[in-house]
């Protein structure tokens, strides 16, 4: 018994298997994640030395930090984001304070000019 499958159906089946594979890998159900990186390296470059170096570098990072390379990198990125957001907050506060100071100076200047105009009008009216 032979089943005829169109190209569109075959593409859909491949997509389903691909999505299922990604979900399996990204959900954490895949047990030996430490070997995924080197396995991909061997599969793509066919260089076992590079894969061995990748695995040993990951182990060194894990022994030094207590975290996997991905966790360590995520922590570093989060710290950089927090510093950047803190700097943006400080810059915004400084900008608002500077604008408030300028507004106060402009308000004081306007008041001073109005008083001088009123004094000048009084002097002009007294002379007439």
pLDDT in tens, 112-128: 999 999 999 988 888 76
Q: What are the sequence ranges of the domains in the chain? A: 68-128
Burial class (CB in 10 A: 0-12, 13-18, 19+), 34: middle
Integer Cα distance of 46 and 109 in angstroms: 75
Q: What is the pLDDT of residues 46-91, one digit of tens each?
A: 777 777 777 787 788 788 888 877 788 888 888 888 888 888 888 8
Burial class (CB in 10 A: 0-12, 13-18, 19+), 61: middle
Integer Cα distance of 6 and 9 in angstroms: 5
């Amino acid at each position: 018994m032979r089943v005829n499958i169109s190209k569109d159906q075959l593409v859909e089946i491949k997509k389903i298997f691909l999505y299922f594979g990604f979900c399996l890998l990204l959900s954490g159900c895949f047990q030996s994640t430490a070997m995924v990186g080197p396995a991909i390296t061997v599969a793509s470059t066919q260089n076992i030395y590079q894969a061995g170096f990748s695995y040993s570098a990951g182990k060194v990072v894990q022994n030094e930090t207590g975290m996997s390379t991905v966790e360590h990198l995520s922590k570093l990125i989060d710290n950089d984001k927090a510093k950047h957001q803190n700097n943006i907050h400080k810059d915004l506060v400084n900008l608002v304070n500077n604008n408030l100071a300028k507004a106060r100076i402009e308000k004081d200047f306007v008041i001073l000019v109005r008083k001088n105009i009123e004094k000048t009008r009084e002097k002009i009216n007294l002379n007439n």
